[in-house]
Structure 1
Amino acid sequence: MDVKFLYIFLVGVLILLNERINVIALPALRERQEPADNTTLGTWKIVGDSGVSGMHAVVVAPKKVIFIDRLEQNHLKKSDGLAAISSEYDLDTNQARPLSVYTNTFCSAGSFLANGTLIEAGGSTGDDINYRSGLQTIRVYDKDIGDWIELEGILPSNRWYPTMITLPNGNLMILGGSTKAVAVNRADINNPTFTIYPPPNGVMQDHEFEFLTATLPNNLYPIVHLIPNDEGKALLFVFASKESIAFDLGTGQTVKTYPKMPGGFRSYPLTGTSIMLPLSPIDNYKPTIMICGGNKDREITSVSEASCGRLALTTENAEWEMDDFGGTPRVMPDVTYLVDGTILFVNGAGTGFAGLRKGQGANSLYTADNPVLFPTHYDPIAKTYKALASTNIPRVYHSVATLLPDGTVLVAGSNPSSVVSLGIKFPTEYRVEIFTPPYLYTTTPRPNIVSLQDIPTNQQRIPIFYDEAITMVVHIKSSDLQPSLKAAIIHHGFVTHSTNMNQRYVNLNIENFYPDESIADQYVVTLKLPPNPTIIAPGPHYIYLFNYNAPCVIGVDVLLN
């Protein structure tokens, strides 16, 4: 039976009977009309095959995405004939190229150094004669050779389900996790520590982080965001379970304890998702965190959380501002910015929790069910939700979504099985989809950024610097409207398990904007970059322009330092 029809039918029965129905389906889901055309709710298109199931995804260039899976028998083979567990996906050709990884990347983490190098850390044991343990491995993606370099055994302790964040000084913090694979974390395997890479004194070492002891057992993939400040401090918002703190890395002290978040649990395995709302110089980059979804109970039949909370991190006596997540329960949702500063929630399930399928054949059970097939669009200024067009591919455990530089959203993954499983209810998923948001169907001319700092765009990563005024040349096709621009710098993050590490959106001031009299439909724009690296960490980002309701053709690949 069509899932959407089932939802509508159950809601109708509830109204007729005027009594509570105790079913697994989702009584909180709204009835939703399909669009008359694709300009209002967006469209979906299957574009290719990821080669490896997309458990992790990261944009590494304007037209390239890296996928990372765990150790399993994917159909994409390396030159030695072994199954690949990482691939480089070309967005122009929609072809996947195998990468060389020989340590198990299962449930690892990733982030970028200030110089633009992608680092990936942790994983699981090696369960195959050809693959080794990744629990203490750091992997370096070398863009010059287009492949991974594996540094085995250099982490001081095992890391499974850690989180990584780029710090204001450009180094990385690797936080938390457990020392072995587990369904729910527990004290004897908990790893309540962090390590810094590269190590400041040349020696990798762990440092205690008591918060991850207090938040057992739902504390894997802790939520971490850098808090903007004027002092240049490495001040971190850290959340696990229902609890959160502000932690000063420089002093090693918790400087603020926030109120407990209402509702269910929000971190693995009762997995929700988080995002820092777009920052703006208008209010001195005042930070607000938004956390959505999750579940109250680790039960297959438990209806997911239909709630979100917003917390203003620097407001005195801040409290969680709660809403109903647009009326749609989701566990394991993914969240990504759109170019215009609005937010897209996608993927996930209406019941259950994160985990692998139990058993085999007709009697097997999935730990999550009732996949939510439509994305929800959130306007952070109006605080409104809108359901958009549906896909027909369920994306549950081990799914990903990320903004692409052309303003679309890539969606991939889903593999709630312990081995590659096809032809079942929720198969190992290799299909790559592109969701085209409604703003790309605009008739308003889209800006085409020709150059930045006199360097042609997207032929190389362009270096830029904090508190700098930068100049770009932009082509905007003539229309009845005089151009009206907005600008932003976005870090696309590293996505896995509903956690988008380091994802960030910062509005930029436009200091000057005037026509280039020598060339028709061409303009010169001067932008002011953020004043310090606590607002957006150093590393690779993309700069975007927006003309009324029309995003630029493609963002500009930059390196901010």
Structure 2
Amino acid sequence: MNVIFLFIFLVGGLNFFYEQIKVNALPASSPLRARQDNSDNSLGTWKIVGDSGVSAMHAVLIAPRKVIFIDRLEQNHLKRPDGLAAISSEYDLDTNQARPLTVYTNTFCSAGSFLANGTLIEAGGSGGDDLNYRSGLQTLRIYDQGKGDWIELEGVLPSNRWYPTMITLPDGNILILGGSTGSTGVNKLEINNPTYTIYPPPSGVFMQDYNFDFLATTLPYNLYPMLHLIPNYEGKTLLFVLASKQAIAYDLGIGKTVITYPDLPGGFRSYPLTGTSIMLPLSPTDYYNPTVMVCGGNKAQEITSVSEATCGRLDLNKPNAQWEMDNFGGTPRVMPDAVYLVDGSIMFVNGGGSGYAGLRKGKGANALFVANDPVLFPYLYDPFAKTYKALASSTIPRMYHSIATLLPDGSVLVSGSNPSNAVTLDVKFPTEYRVEIFYPPYLYSTIPRPTILSLESFPINQQRIKVFYNQVITLVIQLKSTDPPSLKATIIHHGFVTHSTNMNQRYVYLDIEDSYVDKSASDQYILTLRLPPNPTIIAPGPHYIYIFNYDAPCVSGVEVLLNSQ
């Protein structure tokens, strides 16, 4: 049996380093573009591929080649079978066609997460206008994978939830946190909802609300609080929570704040001064030590206020942890989206150079958009070298109500943008239905890309393959290369994204325990990988396993259902 040498770089493992690039803000209402030569596609490329049918305010990868879009109650051009406007669609990545889904409650500013069994849950929303579209404020929606449509449970939430955040807990249930009890441009005391609820309820009878005092002290900028599960080996359910500028670690099991972190320097980070957050890739080599990164936002809720051009990194386990600040690549952004790429780098995309999140003020020629200076280019951030690189520019401003999410082939889907209170097509920032795919630079590499052929003898992406914590799994890959490969492995949860909040998004490196040439077929290798040891590191549910060779990702990740038993 021949043994290949696999150079597995799990920490500091990116084999490329980026120069930091500063891009100065342009005059008001001018798009911010990267000015670089891209003749060799080394900055990636953009392609408009289809029509979302409903404006993509929310998005979630529901299957390897399908994405669900969710809008709010408005008159989209995609119609349900009954002739009424659809407010949710299923988008096929192979045909680039959108199919209407039947939602009857207003999903405006709602949230989503997955149960351990892989069921997508969506909750909250806004009020309804008539009997055809009812209130979503206390609605919980279940996506029925079998029939490919939504089931709506109206009135089951114990309180109204507008702008909540949801996260899958280590036990596989879902936490629904915060929000307001009614529509508002900024949260206020009389409608603040400083509580959380759990679905399914631990009692097995009715859902109930539990006080969460942190959200009573972070007004007015505490909608869509930033929320991440903190890895640990003690079996605790520890939550990192950030709202406004304040951050804590909260032990859900005992119902107490266990760490109060320093305030994040710079502007405000929560809606409507919207920044974004992401937990940096986790690795077994440092026992999954967690670092959170928070970027963008604004200092004031004013149309002319230049967006925040800082990011903070916080090592959550470091004693007396302090924020490590940088200049966000030199470009201010409000409403950015943060997306993992397969190689462990992070793409920051979308948003504006000034203003804040919200709908335009007034109508006609006198209407004012509350955010301007669209930033048309993404940054590629290397979390190991701590550097930014400006990538190729899009042509479409992606302002309020935009989304971005990683796809299993290593590309990034970008859609949405609708900063008006109804479908509006003849304005500076119109209601957007165009779906774009961004192809990152690694898809143009000359380095051969692996193809995963099977996992645990199952062919990939025909069904979710069940796997378990701490399990050693076997993959068969094909890699046509004359040079010895340098292979790495990861498991990624793509998340549920809305309003610059990607709920549950997670990236965890996997140990490759063994590897050898498969003598039964040419250019094939057999790898054994060890999955994370417990559900605090990555929560139970549907995820994707990837192999990459140097920085070249596999042709497609393989969908798995990770669970405890």
Which of the five TM-score ranges fits, normalised by the shorter chain?
A: over 0.9
Q: Which residue of structure 2 aligns with residue 94 of structure 1?
A: 96
Does residue 139 (structure 1) correspond to residue 120 (structure 2)? The answer is: no
C-alpha contact (below 8 Å) 1:446/1:551 kept by paired residues: yes
Deviation of the 1:37 alpha carbon: 1.7
Q: Aligned ranges for residues 160-171 of structure 1 at < 5 Å?
A: 160-171=162-173
Letter in 2 for 1:533: P
Q: Which residue of 2 aligns with 1:540?
A: 542
Letter in 2 for 1:502: N
Distance 1:38 1:190 in 2: 51
Out of 373, 393, 397, which is 2:396 matched to?
393
Q: Give the match's secondary structure for 2:285.
A: helix
SS at match of 1:439: helix
Q: How far 1:128 sits from its partner (Å)?
A: 3.0
Displacement after TM superposition at 1:199 (Å): 0.2
Residue of 52, 56, 63 corresponding to 1:54: 56
Aligned pair in 2 of structure 1 residues 253, 105: CA closer, same or farther (>3 Å)?
A: same
CA distance in 1, matches of 2:393, 2:81: 38
One-letter code of the match for 1:444? Answer: I
Partner residue in 2 for 1:119: 121
Residue 281 of structure 1 corresponds to 284
SS across alignment from 1:212 = helix
The TM-score with structure 1 as length reference comes to 0.95
In the alignment, is residue 190 of structure 1 matched against residue 204 of structure 2? no
Is residue 65 from structure 1 mapped to residue 67 from structure 2 by the alignment? yes
> Identity of counterpart residues, as a percentage?
73
1:96-129 deviation per Cα after TM superposition (whole angstroms, max 9, x unaligned): 0000000000000000000000000000000133
SS state at 1:188 partner: helix
2:527 is aligned to: 525
Residues 39 and 442 in structure 1, CA contact (< 8 A), matched pair in contact too: no
Which position in structure 1 is the counterpart of 2:8? Answer: none
The 5 A counterparts of 1:13-28 are 24=28
Comparing both chains, which one has the higher relative contact order based on Cα–Cα distances under 8 Å and sequence gaps of 6 or more?
Answer: 2
Aligned counterpart for 1:316 among listed residues 319, 323, 330: 319
**C-alpha contact 2:34 2:377 (8 A) present in aligned 1:** no
The answer to whether 1:240 aligns with 2:243 is: yes
Instruction: State the 1:34 CA deviation.
Output: 2.4
Gaps of 5+ in 2: 1-21
Whole-Å separation in 2 of the counterparts to 1:317 and 1:478: 48
Q: How does 1:327-406 map to 2 (within 5 A)?
A: 327-406=330-409
Q: Which string of whole-angstrom CA distances, capped at 9 and with x for unpartnered residues, describes residues 375-428 of structure 1?
A: 000000000000000001000000000000000000000000000000210000
Q: Is the 8 A contact 2:226 2:277 kept in 1?
A: yes
Q: 1:440 corresponds to which residue?
A: 443
- Provide Cα deviations, 1:467-497, integer angstroms capped at 9, x if missing partner: 0000000011132x11120000000000000
Post-superposition offset of 1:38? 4.1
User: Separation in 1 of the partners of 2:261 and 2:127?
Assistant: 36
Please state how far the C-alpha of 1:447 moved relative to its aligned partner. 0.5
Q: Residues 474 and 235 from structure 1, CA distance in 2 versus in 1: closer, same or farther, beyond 3 angstroms?
A: same
> Could you tell me which of 465, 470, 485 is aligned with 2:468?
465
8 Å Cα contact 1:331/1:348 also seen in 2: yes
- Please say if residues 23 and 331 of structure 2, whose CA atoms lie closer than 8 Å, have aligned partners that are also in contact: no
3-state secondary structure, aligned to 1:326: helix
Number of aligned residue pairs: 541
CA distance in 2, matches of 1:384, 1:128: 51
1:546 and 1:8 mapped to 2: Cα distance?
Answer: 31
Q: Aligned equivalents of 1:92 and 1:422: distance in 2?
A: 27
- Shift in CA distance, 429/244, structure 1 to aligned 2, threshold 3 Å: same
Q: Which residue of 1 aligns with 2:43?
A: 41
Per-residue deviation, 1:155: 0.2
Distance 2:37 2:212 in 1: 49
Q: Which residue of 2 aligns with 1:17?
A: none
Deviation (angstroms), 1:35 = 2.1
CA contact (8 A) 1:405 1:555 kept: yes
In the alignment, is residue 83 of structure 1 matched against residue 79 of structure 2?
no
* Correspondence for 1:18: none
Q: Is the 8 A contact 2:24 2:331 kept in 1?
A: no
Alignment-mate amino acid for residue 464 of structure 1: V
The residue that corresponds to 2:229 in the other structure is 226
Preserved contact between residue 136 and residue 155 of structure 1 (Cα < 8 Å):
yes
Cα distance in 1, alignment partners of residues 128 and 244 from structure 2: 29
The CA deviation at 1:24 is 4.0
Offset at residue 292 of structure 1 (A): 0.1
Secondary structure at the aligned position of 2:180 is classed as: coil
For the Cα contact (< 8 Å) 1:54–1:413, is it kept in 2? yes
